[in-house]
Each structure stands twice: as structure tokens, then as C-alpha cells.
Structure 1
Amino acid sequence: MSRVVTFGEIMLRLATPGHARFQQAMPGGLHASFAGAEASIAASLSYLGADAAFVTALPANSIADACVADLRSLGVETKHILRTAGGRLGVYFLEHGANQRGGNVIYDREGSSVAITPAAEYDWGAIFVGCDWFVISGITPAISRNAAEVARVAMREAQGLGIKIVCDMNYRTKLWNWEPPLSARELATRTMRELLPMVSVFVGGVSDATAMLGIESSGDLQALARQIVAEFPNLSHAAFTLRDGSTAAAQCFGGALYEAVTDTLHTAPRLTITQVIDRLGAGDAFTAGLVFSFLQNSDPQTAIAFATAAGCLAHSIEGDYNYSTPSEIEALMQGDGGGRVSR
């Protein structure tokens, strides 16, 4: 199977227990795990059985050691993770939403190792040996000016080697603040428009496309996909997550995949989620499912159905990583979504 490399930041995730608010949980105990878009994609791919590597920069301390060990326990290749004397492990705090109250994330990641480590420190030639797919998100260039430059260098190196690049847009308005007085949206649009010409597969929600590319949607998803591909003709596919919900706990999750060569939009039925355990990482699970399907040479309809089912199941699992097997995802694709006990 082809090798997949992902690059980005991994953080310590500190979540309040249950649905407690920060002021209820602190002082007190928070649940600690590790999380980050590209790390989550690599972990999900590895759990599905793919050959996945994650690249980042981490400080040389025992907490970062635990982070690397956690990735290795899932089979993720970590040998190209840099350990640095400077910088730190970023942190984010999570308060789960409930009913009509949405969730809340507070970042504490400024000055992280990956934010300050220059592109020249990474051995891109060794990193990309045997690699066929490179996955990065719109979060990485949002972290800092340096991280945006590292993303640009990594993508240029991958493109030069003929590696297909997947970009999961992931617009984070709280992060795009490294070039005042530009607004988050202005900086994101300028930066991502510089990077998208190198990308083969666009992944995101409709709001990601409008916020980060400055493309307004009329509500016609195929027309939006056509416009994105017209502006960035290196794209072979544009994939969209489709989400709506009445509360934080009740959601509908779907997906669509536009294939440029055939000008065809393939859609998967929206799946109803009546009890969200954890919605963070669902988009990463969707992207991992899509890339895994590409590795399997699945037809586009199967690929988007698999990605959507993977993203749906991720809502049932605490933490950012999707501990769902191919057989569980395929069962949901085939309509087995009743939650029966396997005996």
C-alpha cells in the first residue's frame, strides 16, 4: 500500500469531564490526550491499516515523549519528528457543548516548536521517500508566519516529487493573527490562495471555501466545486463535509465528492447522529477515510460513502482520533447503523 505523510502541529488536549463548563471543572481534573488535525489523520489512517507517517517538531521533554509514544502505539511512523531545544508543546482546552450550547476551544499554542522551527531543519528528501500522498491542513499555515513558510516549502518539495497533495482547509478564525492589521479572513484567503495551486484534493466545508478562498456559494454545491477547480486547475477532486444539526448533541453528517475529469458530483446520504460523544476530529476522520479510499483505488461513490461513514462514527468516540475499523465503517455504509451489540 502507498505511504502517506502528514505534517502539522500536535498538541496536548485538556477537556473538561462530561459536559462541564470550564468554571465548573477548574480547579479539578481535566482529561488529557493528544490531538491535532494532521496527527489525527495519520492516526486514523494507521488504524485503518494504511502506512502513515506524521511529521512535526516537538520539544525535548518527557511530555513530548509520551506524545510520540501515543502515536507509535497506533502504528504511526514518527522517525522524522524533530526534537528541539526551543519551543514548547502547544495546548488546547476543550469544553464540550450540550443541547443549544456550542462547544468552546481555547488555544495556548503560541511559540510551539512547530511554530518556530524553520523549514531547513526538516529533511524533506528523507521524509518523502516512498511517499505517494501528502496531507496538510489549513491550520498549519495559520499557526505562525514561519509555519506558513514551512507548509509552502513542504508542499513545493512534495509537488516536485510528483506526490499528490491533500489539503483539509479547516478554517480557524482564532489562529489567523500573525500579520496585523489583516483580519483573520483576509490573511487566510491570501495565504491559502498561494498554496492551493499545488494541491490535488481539496477537502472542507462550504464555509471553509467561502472564508478561506473568498468564493461565495449560491447553495449549488456542484457549481461551487466547479468554481474552485476552475480557479485551481491542479485539483482533481473537491470533497465537502456537509453538516447540520438542531443541537450540539443532534447532528446530520454527510459528504460530497466532485470529480473534475468527469464533472460529476457524488454524494453520500446524510447520517443522523442523535448522541454526539465528541465532534472534534470528525472532519479529520472524513479526510482519512477519503485518502484511505484513494489508496484502495475505490470508485468515487464508494470513496465518499466511506469517508462520510468514517466521519459519522468519529462522533461516537471520545478524543480526536477515530478508532473505527474498516469493517465497522463498511457496515455503516451498508445501512447497519442501529448500534446493535456485536456478540
Structure 2
Amino acid sequence: MKKVLCFGELLLRLPPANAGEWLRNNTMPVFVGGAELNVATALATWGVPVKYCTALPDNIISKDITDYLQQKNIDTSPIIYSGERIGLYYLKEGADMKSAENVFDRKYSSFSTLATGIVDWDAILENVSWFHFSAIAPAVSESAAALCKEALQAAARKNITISVDLNHRSLLWKYGKQPIEVMPELVQYCNVVMGNVWSANSLLGIPVDANIHDQGTQENYLSTANQTAKYIFQKFPQCKWVANTFRFDGNENNIRYYAVLDTVNQQTVSPIFQTASVIDKVGSGDCFMAGLIYGILNQHASTDIIGFAAAAAFGKLQEKGDATKNSVEKIQNILAKNKQVFL
């Protein structure tokens, strides 16, 4: 079986305990993550052969990290050793990735400074059938955006399936270009697009009703997702699958979650998942993306693809850390408990 290649920036997440406890106790945990690495970790956990490509400085910390990833059955041979630092971010315990309390410290990281014309894409893409990246990668720097385009062109020449997660991080995109100036040029190569109707609006300029929440019905949200998918299919003819997620956070971490998968001729909806408690919100969307890749790779039916992906994302909310440790069997059990609410 050929491999999935995940490409993006590796990050170390430092979650300071609330109310300054991390200072008084002189402790702060470290989680290894990054959107694309979280996808790679999930796929490796589920038995999918996977490669991971990023840029790291050539030092002992990077060696510890690559050893750690190899123990998770992730092929780290595509990693480029250059530059001087690993990107960091600080996120308060329990906060969401889009929270204003999220502090990025990744300027001049190895990934953000990696130039085009250096990476041997023919070698890295050998024995690869799927290439995955997210909108976070080109948001980091202008050189990273150019590198993404270089990688996508190389993958497209080899007829490799390409997927993108339309992660929108407004705290990034600080190098003088708006997402709408960059992302459409990259998404034109993609066969699978995942995100939500709001990120499609911000990153691709696809219309979304500003009053969408007024009705607040699932029927209305699903109709909007279908319209978004139709715009994507028309604007980006290479795209064959569009997935949109809907997560509504209520009081006291009460969460309602579902997802939808559109093809040109069909829309398929996941069960509705609900929980009153959340352990960690980080990485849930990445877990969904991994589930989507897993289902499409294994040629599952649309109902199984979207159901598994949504259950994987929902299950990740109950796990601490950036990437899931849940097995395929556990995710299928989560799905089975919620199948009664399929539309």
C-alpha cells in the first residue's frame, strides 16, 4: 500500500495552567502537534502507512521529536533539517485554537524560512498516493506559501490525490497578503476540500449568508453546506469531495457536533453528537480530516466515510493532547452509539 504524505509545520504546544499556576508550580506540559502532524498521527494509529514532511533545526530537540514520531510508525525520512528554531504556541487549558488567548511564537521558524528550489519532491513523493496539507501552512509566511504551491504542483504532476483542510487562523497571515489572495491558487490542485462554510468564505471568497444563525436549523446549515460545495465544484473542477463540519459550543462546554459530505451528485450527513463535557478541543478538526482520508482511501460508502470522520472528531474532544490515540474499533463504537440520529 502506498503512503499518505502530510506536509506542514510541526509545533510544540505549551498549555499554561489557568490563573498562573504554571508559574507557581514551575511546570508546563509539552504536546507535539501541528495540524498536518495530527492527521499523520491519527492515520498511523489506524494502520495507514504515512510520511511526514516538515522543516526542523538540526539539533538534539529535533532528534528527540523524530525518534518520538518514528515510535508512532510515522516515516520521518522526508523531514528537512534547516533553519534555527521550532515553532511554538501557547494555549490556555480548555481553550479553543481560535481563542484570543492563543499565542503563536513561530516567526523565523525552520518551516517558515524554508525556500523553494531546495526540496527534492520527486524523492519525497516516491511511493505516495495521497498528499495532505492545511491552510495553516501557507499562512505562516510568504516563502511557506510558495513552498506549498511547489509541493502541490509536484504532487499534481504525479496524479497524487490532494486534500486540504481550510483551517483559518486569523492570528496568522501577517506577511502582507490576505488568504483570498493565496488559497484559491492552491486549492485548484485539490481533490478533497474540508472545512466549514465560514472558512470557505474567508479563504476562498465563497458566499455565506451573514444571517445564517437566525434560523439555526440543521436543515438550513446543510443547505448552506450544499451551496458552498457547489461553488467549490464549479470554481475548482479537480475537487470531487467537499466536507463541512458544524460544531456549536454552548454553556459549560456543552457541544453539539455533526458533519456533511458532498459530492457532485450526493449529500451525506453524519449522526448528531452531543456532550456536556470536553477534555481538550485541540486537534478535533485534524482528527476529522484523518477520518475523511481514511474512509476515502479505503473506498468506504459515503455514509461510512462521514460517520467515521465525525465520530473520530467527536471522540478526540475527550482526549488530552493534540492527536488522537483512539483506535478504529473505539471510533466505530462511538459511531454505533449515535447511529439512531442519522437523518
**With structure 1 as the length reference, what TM-score do the two structures score?**
0.90
Amino acid at match of 2:58: A
Aligned to 2:257: 253
Aligned to 1:127: 124
CA distance, structure 2, for counterparts of residue 240 and residue 274 of structure 1:
22
Contact kept in structure 1, 2:284 and 2:313, CA below 8 Å: yes
CA distance, structure 1, for counterparts of residue 309 and residue 292 of structure 2:
5
Note closer, same or farther for the CA distance 1:158–1:272 as it changes in structure 2 (3 Å cut). same
**Within-5 A mapping of 1:73-222:** 73-84=71-82, 86-97=83-94, 104-179=101-176, 182=177, 187-218=178-209, 219=221, 220-222=224-226
C-alpha RMSD over aligned residues: 1.8
CA distance, structure 1, for counterparts of residue 248 and residue 227 of structure 2:
20
Contact kept in structure 1, 2:272 and 2:338, CA below 8 Å: no
Query: Which shifted more, 8-17 or 244-253?
Result: 244-253
SS in 1 for 2:91: strand
How far the C-alpha of 1:232 sits from its partner, in A, is 1.0
SS in 2 for 1:121: coil
Aligned to 1:300: 302
Contact kept in structure 1, 2:252 and 2:276, CA below 8 Å: no
Amino acid at match of 1:208: S
CA distance, structure 2, for counterparts of residue 141 and residue 87 of structure 1:
19
Aligned to 1:49: 47
CA distance, structure 2, for counterparts of residue 253 and residue 336 of structure 1:
11
Indicate the percent of aligned positions where both proteins have the same amino acid: 29
Q: 1:231 aligned to 2:235?
A: yes
CA distance, structure 1, for counterparts of residue 202 and residue 95 of structure 2:
26
C-alpha deviations, 1:131-153, integer Å up to 9, x for none? 11100000000000000000000
CA distance, structure 1, for counterparts of residue 75 and residue 100 of structure 2:
32
How far the C-alpha of 1:332 sits from its partner, in A, is 1.3
Contact kept in structure 1, 2:196 and 2:246, CA below 8 Å: yes
How far the C-alpha of 1:24 sits from its partner, in A, is 4.0
CA distance, structure 2, for counterparts of residue 62 and residue 213 of structure 1:
40
How far the C-alpha of 1:265 sits from its partner, in A, is 1.0
Amino acid at match of 1:112: S
Contact kept in structure 1, 2:95 and 2:101, CA below 8 Å: no
Contact kept in structure 2, 1:97 and 1:103, CA below 8 Å: no
SS in 2 for 1:116: coil
SS in 2 for 1:238: strand
How far the C-alpha of 1:283 sits from its partner, in A, is 0.3
How far the C-alpha of 1:87 sits from its partner, in A, is 2.5
CA distance, structure 1, for counterparts of residue 67 and residue 135 of structure 2:
26
C-alpha deviations, 1:138-184, integer Å up to 9, x for none? 000000000000000000000010001000010001110111xx5xx
Amino acid at match of 2:61: I
CA distance, structure 1, for counterparts of residue 179 and residue 64 of structure 2:
32
Aligned to 2:311: 309
How far the C-alpha of 1:248 sits from its partner, in A, is 6.0
Aligned to 2:15: 15
How far the C-alpha of 1:273 sits from its partner, in A, is 2.1
How far the C-alpha of 1:119 sits from its partner, in A, is 2.6
How far the C-alpha of 1:98 sits from its partner, in A, is 6.9
CA distance, structure 2, for counterparts of residue 90 and residue 58 of structure 1:
9
Aligned to 1:341: none
CA distance, structure 2, for counterparts of residue 164 and residue 40 of structure 1:
19
Unaligned runs of 5+ in 1: 338-343
SS in 1 for 2:13: strand
CA distance, structure 2, for counterparts of residue 333 and residue 58 of structure 1:
37
Report runs of 4+ in structure 1 exceeding 2 Å deviation.
23-28, 96-99
How far the C-alpha of 1:214 sits from its partner, in A, is 1.4
CA distance, structure 1, for counterparts of residue 305 and residue 42 of structure 2:
16
Q: For 1:289, which of 288, 291, 294 is the aligned residue?
A: 291
Aligned to 2:213: none
How far the C-alpha of 1:103 sits from its partner, in A, is 7.2
SS in 2 for 1:115: coil
Contact kept in structure 2, 1:137 and 1:169, CA below 8 Å: yes
CA distance, structure 1, for counterparts of residue 310 and residue 100 of structure 2:
22
Q: For 1:273, which of 275, 296, 300 is the aligned residue?
A: 275
Contact kept in structure 2, 1:97 and 1:248, CA below 8 Å: no
